[in-house]
Structure 1
Amino acid sequence: MRLSSWFDVVYLLVTAQGVLTCLLLWVRRQNRTANRILAFPIAAITVSCVYMLYVRSGAFRSDPRWLLSIDTLPALYGPLFYLYALALTSRPKRWEAQFLHLFPFLLYTLYNIPRFLLPGEEKLALAMREGVGVLAWDQALWQWGVELQGLVYLLAALWTVRRYRAAVAGEFSNTDRINLRWLQWFLGSLLVLWIGSMFARISPVPVLGYLHTALMVLVYVIAHRTASEPQVVPAPGDGPEARAPVPAARAANANEAWRGEDPAPAAAPGRPPERPLAAAGAAGAAGAADAAGAADAEEAGPAAAGSAEVRPVAAKYQKTRLKESQVTQIASQLTALFERERPYRDPDLTLSTLAQRLGVPSHHLSQVLNDRFGKSFHDVVNLARVEELKRRLIDRDLSAEKILALGLDCGFSSKSTLNANFKKHTGLTPTQFRDQVLRDGAARCG
């Protein structure tokens, strides 16, 4: 077999890489179901690469028996990527029912068997005609049906991940390791490539090879990314806390993590001390009704504590909506707890553990955060951490390492999480904020 271009080199490299990636995904224990589902489209792409080398090398002319053998593989991609997203974000009660999504692929394969069994010369002639776009009406109908099916399934996978990300923001205070932002980016990129392949069917410009190459590279990059993904799916019967890995020592002392510590340093001269929930409370008061509706829509997703899938927030509150007096009481208790014990300093704080400390159901606390503060649990807790850190950034001699140490002590789990949340709520990095405070203080003194 002769390699005639860099396309062929890519196909050959991806073929070898595909075999290794499938083995890695199959044996990895974390997210086992999701990884094994992902191994199937990786295997399909690997087979496609071998087929492309078979075609591009010209071997099909002397041995046409393998022609048309991969025609039905594209019908697998959309359903399998959807099932992969589903496996990462929830635990369906009956997986055998979910695999009914592969039924169109089976039908297409049954339709294609007579074509594949044609004599070599007839198959070669048919493949040559279809290669220049001359399709029988039934084959064209099948191919466009596969394209539309893939488009629908990729959109469904994106919606599934978006629901999960909203639900995680409603349950966890630190989500940098479990928010699946990378998967949303990956599915969005796949959707763009899929739409490109649909246009390539009617475009006079031969771009399908470039799209196929981009798809292969993208899938293998994500395959390696997901091979190092921590466990994000709860075990049967576990609550959402199982989605986030928690060190054993930290978990054992979670309820005591914020007790018995010295109070935070005083505010900078001339600046009144800031209450941890003051900024969130002001935002909620300014637009509670609109924010609550937006938060309800955003938090629709996989299930809250004690269930395998988070239900939409609007439905969750429909039968248990609190009275205004109850909302006020829980909000006051929450504010007092934040000021007295600063539970947000626990980096593994979840909605469930905070609700237990307040003695209220998790869905009631979530409703209060949405209605009164106009924010998700994730934003409320991280805003409190930002306010805590702002009170500490008054030392002119703080180094970047010391700023990071202060941020971790305030409850942030990493440097990237600290900087992202601080800039989200202040528009500045911690260093920029400290320098601005010092300049303002110097100007007042001058």
Structure 2
Amino acid sequence: MAFWTVVFAIGAAQAALLALALWRRPANAGANRVLAMWIALIGIDLAVKALYWDPSYAAPTKALRFVGLFPFLYGSLFYVYVRVLTEARAARWRDAVHLSGFFIVLALHAGFFLRGLVPAEGMLARTLPGIAELEWMRLNIVLYAYSLSYVIAGLLRVGRYRRGLLQRRSDVDRMSLHWIDAMAISQILIWLIATTQWLVRIPWIDYPLIYGLVAAWVFLMGYFSLTQTAVLVEPAPEPAPPSREVVPANDDSRVAEVEVRLSQLMAQQQLYREPALTIGQLAKRSGYPEYLVSAVINRRFGGNFWEYINRQRIEAAASHLADGADTRTILDIAYACGFTSKSTFNAAFKRQLGETPSAFRKRHALAGTPESPSR
């Protein structure tokens, strides 16, 4: 049995198991079922490739051509997956419009797939598209551009989702979907390698190696998708009450009151210590409408909700780190101040105070100054 037959067969089996696990996984159920269908199609593709490279089987010509069109689905399914995931919903029938590229290309190949099934001299044979004689690999550039457009659209939607999180949640680091970036970049690289190989024929890159990368990609997606946390979509903020004369939030007479109230909540109740604090929760505790709280944070305190809460956390952490009597580890202090990630804490601390937490603590330990340096 050929080496690539084994690789593709293992990849197909892995895809089947992964698709089943994703279909049954309750977290992000709607998105996981889209991903399950996508992974299942890749498994079918790899299974056909395994048969093709096994010399004991006759070459499955039509099946090979059929799965060769599957990549026209992959970019579209990535976009549908991202959209369903970031909207925390189930797939809808209207999402199928994004799969139309595959069906158009499939229709163009009708002459090839119906060869031998209809009379060669019949009217149907004369009206079928003449793609049967077209070298289908010429579609590679079209495929790359088509799929790339959907991947970019998916990344733009993820970016919009992240910007929304920054305005509404303080635990963005846990929900930023950075593994989606890895999924997109790996797809783009595989398609780029395949297109480059078709254009210039790189000696050490061949057709089996490209699909070997696809099999490896399935394993990568298995790790990422089965460890993802549930995506939460915050309810839309309550709108400003309608009135005959609309007053901009920045000119609302309550702006100064809200500013004082938020400062009190941070200083007295230390709400920033709550790791999953949302702007809706903060607005409820303040007693003011969410739209007004958001406007005050953006315009009076500067920055979005996530930045505002992190500033409070960094100030508290700096106070503890500058206190020589506080013997807790840096990570313990970060968690106590509301951070959920060491990397997020380190990045935010250095961005705000210009040095790492360890350097900050060491400097104050040598100076023997317990007070926090406000900057």
State the TM bucket, normalised to the shorter chain. 0.7 to 0.9
Distance across 1 between alignment mates of 2:264 and 2:324 = 31
Q: 1:179 aligns with which of 176, 179, 182?
A: 176
Q: 1:106 aligns with which of 103, 107, 111?
A: 103
1:384 to partner: Cα distance: 0.7
Distance across 2 between alignment mates of 1:153 and 1:64 = 29
Q: Which residue of 2 aligns with 1:340?
A: 268
Structure 2: gaps (5+ residues): 118-130, 240-245, 370-375
Contact map agreement 1:158 1:188 (CA 8 A) in 2: no
2:302 equivalent to 1:374: yes
Q: Which amino acid aligns with 1:422?
A: F
Q: Which residue of 2 aligns with 1:217?
A: 216
User: What secondary structure sits across from 1:57 in the alignment?
Assistant: coil
Q: Which amino acid aligns with 1:87?
A: V
Distance across 2 between alignment mates of 1:62 and 1:356 = 66
Q: Which amino acid aligns with 1:174?
A: D
Q: Which amino acid aligns with 2:336?
A: D
Q: Which residue of 1 aligns with 2:282?
A: 354
Q: Which residue of 1 aligns with 2:156?
A: 159
1:170 to partner: Cα distance: 1.2
Q: Which residue of 1 aligns with 2:368?
A: 441
Aligned positions of 1:320-331 closer than 5 A: 321-324=248-251, 326=253, 327-331=255-259
Q: Which amino acid aligns with 1:376?
A: N
Q: Which residue of 1 aligns with 2:349?
A: 422
Q: Which residue of 2 aligns with 1:403?
A: 330
1:49 to partner: Cα distance: 1.4
1:367 to partner: Cα distance: 2.6
Q: Which residue of 2 aligns with 1:146?
A: 143
For residues 214-238 of structure 1, the C-alpha deviation after alignment (integer angstroms, 9 at most, x for no partner) is: 333234312332112222144xxxx
Residue 171 to residue 151, structure 1, CA distance change in 2 (3 Å): same
TM-score normalized with structure 1 length: 0.69
Q: Which residue of 1 aligns with 2:7?
A: 10
1:328 to partner: Cα distance: 4.5
Distance across 1 between alignment mates of 2:283 and 2:43 = 49
2:311 equivalent to 1:383: yes
Contact map agreement 2:52 2:59 (CA 8 A) in 1: no
Distance across 2 between alignment mates of 1:437 and 1:428 = 12
Contact map agreement 1:151 1:195 (CA 8 A) in 2: no
The worse-fitting range, judged by mean Cα deviation, of 85-94 and 386-395 is: 85-94
Distance across 1 between alignment mates of 2:197 and 2:59 = 29
Aligned positions of 1:61-210 closer than 5 A: 61=58, 64=61, 66-91=63-88, 95-119=92-116, 139=136, 142-205=139-202, 207=205, 208-210=207-209
User: What secondary structure sits across from 1:431 in the alignment?
Assistant: helix
Residue 64 to residue 86, structure 1, CA distance change in 2 (3 Å): closer
Distance across 1 between alignment mates of 2:194 and 2:299 = 45
Q: Which amino acid aligns with 1:388?
A: A
1:393 to partner: Cα distance: 1.3
Distance across 2 between alignment mates of 1:358 and 1:226 = 38
1:306 to partner: Cα distance: 7.0
Contact map agreement 1:108 1:142 (CA 8 A) in 2: no
1:439 to partner: Cα distance: 2.2
Residue 74 to residue 342, structure 1, CA distance change in 2 (3 Å): same
Q: Which amino acid aligns with 1:180?
A: L
Contact map agreement 2:34 2:91 (CA 8 A) in 1: no
Residue 115 to residue 432, structure 1, CA distance change in 2 (3 Å): same
Aligned positions of 1:287-302 closer than 5 A: none
For residues 50-81 of structure 1, the C-alpha deviation after alignment (integer angstroms, 9 at most, x for no partner) is: 22222223456566453423122111101111
The worse-fitting range, judged by mean Cα deviation, of 191-200 and 34-43 is: 191-200
Residue 352 to residue 33, structure 1, CA distance change in 2 (3 Å): same
Residue 381 to residue 9, structure 1, CA distance change in 2 (3 Å): same
Residue 107 to residue 138, structure 1, CA distance change in 2 (3 Å): farther
Distance across 2 between alignment mates of 1:196 and 1:367 = 47
Q: Which residue of 2 aligns with 1:26?
A: 23
TM-score normalized with structure 2 length: 0.81
The worse-fitting range, judged by mean Cα deviation, of 333-342 and 137-146 is: 137-146
Distance across 1 between alignment mates of 2:190 and 2:247 = 44
Distance across 2 between alignment mates of 1:375 and 1:72 = 47
Q: Which amino acid aligns with 1:183?
A: I
Distance across 1 between alignment mates of 2:54 and 2:159 = 43
The worse-fitting range, judged by mean Cα deviation, of 61-70 and 384-393 is: 61-70
Distance across 1 between alignment mates of 2:202 and 2:37 = 31
What percent identity do the matched residue pairs reach?
Answer: 28
For residues 171-223 of structure 1, the C-alpha deviation after alignment (integer angstroms, 9 at most, x for no partner) is: 11112321111112322332333333333331221535444333332343123
Q: Which residue of 2 aligns with 1:277?
A: none
Distance across 2 between alignment mates of 1:403 and 1:63 = 61
Contact map agreement 1:155 1:191 (CA 8 A) in 2: no
For residues 311-368 of structure 1, the C-alpha deviation after alignment (integer angstroms, 9 at most, x for no partner) is: xxxxxxxx87423465454333322332232211122211111112223332332233
Distance across 1 between alignment mates of 2:84 and 2:231 = 10
Residue 320 to residue 168, structure 1, CA distance change in 2 (3 Å): farther
Q: Which amino acid aligns with 1:331?
A: E
Backbone CA RMSD of aligned residues: 3.0
Q: Which residue of 2 aligns with 1:53?
A: 50
Distance across 1 between alignment mates of 2:61 and 2:356 = 62
1:137 to partner: Cα distance: 5.4
The worse-fitting range, judged by mean Cα deviation, of 214-223 and 381-390 is: 214-223
Aligned positions of 1:227-242 closer than 5 A: 227-234=226-233, 239-240=234-235
Distance across 2 between alignment mates of 1:233 and 1:394 = 36
1:432 to partner: Cα distance: 2.2
User: What secondary structure sits across from 2:200 in the alignment?
Assistant: coil
Contact map agreement 1:88 1:233 (CA 8 A) in 2: no
